[in-house]
Chain A
């Protein structure tokens, strides 16, 4: 069976970032030497054209902070030239009115601004950087120039009680979309799980607030509400299924099926400097290994709900982290023999202290949580 055509290219232009969010989805070893060698602009431009030829329509320019790339305007123009719809995913501390105009000119389609909290002081504490006022100014500049605007806010125990305020802020800023992503435990969020893990009641109140907002505001503002895996008992189709919809390119050119895939130790990632995207998508082991359903073990293989092609076995990185086996059923699933690990991880966090994201090498990562 021919593999599906991808829709989205996630271009992580740089892992450098002025913000230090403690749940950053970037790898914890972003300071490692291998990420310092950022891809040259000409490679990115070739990749954008190859991506379109593969079927990609959406380009996410992200990081770290993508605005730290000096050639960002040229990359935006190359994305437009390739026929991609581009989103700048930014912390927005560098998104001044002047830069916004230049990016508009270059052909940028959409701006996504992260807000860590609707409360200025709390925002700055979570981001580890005085950034709230700049973010608000950036969001306004984006709308003044006619960019469609998405606000994204990663939710956790320390900001979930402000959900009404973030909904109100989104409306005030005239944003078209709000992404409320409850923290998923990859990257830095694993290190900070004790500071982030919410209570069941917080999640329920949050969901109710979103529901009321949707009823009041209608299709004018789209609110995405992503429930955290740990509070579900059937897995999500992580990334829409392994290597089905999305390709991620790390700043050094490594091609990944998802942002967290580097946590799977025996996967070798092809680099776009060495290989065309078409080969990577169709032939590379890192992309074909968990694609489709052939690789599945029990209980996925004989799933009583027949969900193999609905959730695609859930998340491989989570399966590895919680069971020690990347081929196992995602333990979020109530049919997984390791589901108890997820149930016990629902305990709310016990500390407010963050370990902030940094490029400085960490001495030792927190030991992974595994099944007994």
Chain B
């Protein structure tokens, strides 16, 4: 395979993973900006999405059904989590929130290990999306990955529209900037938080469902995506969506090309990248100083 073609294929892989990562990281950053808490359970919701897809398929339910239902289930789970657990922890102190989300993250992974075991479970892509399409000459590319890329971009565009052009979106943006003020203005901030949390969790679940066919469902996928999200937020800069996009695409590149060079330690490259950014610009590429 000529070098240029291989390069382009890897580039496409990195784009696919980068957008998927951005999908998950965006929900995390939004909640972080709005509630000032890094919800680690978010990564577990992603994992749950993948496992739900597996479970649905095992119960002979179609993949498309899973694609719609799993995010709904997980969105509800997220809402319950916020309403009954996180909210209480929030009142108790800033460590309590972090401990709670870490505890929830951990327990959900244990539950997944319990129900579905530790070996990765394969999830079949629906027949419509299986197979490859011709790009040029005799070069093919898996249709499914294009689907992942496409749906990630679609979801993100939908959210961008919601955030920038609707009333709800304005409220959310205001709450991210200054939630106290928004509260004073008479907006029901707790309900807004529930909404954002539910939507974010649903998106994480959705990301898990679409990731499952090409990544498989395995217990530590929560930890893997969490670390990548973390690198995204640190490199991209706290609170910056554009920074997160850029960082996610960079990580996508590192993952794809790194896996070629040093199969076991793509993580090292991510680290090195993060260390460099931290030393040069501690607040991230797009972050705010002071």
A and B: real partners? no
Question: Taking beta carbons and an 8 Å cutoff, which residues of A are in contact with B?
Answer: none
Question: Taking beta carbons and an 8 Å cutoff, which residues of B are in contact with A?
Answer: none
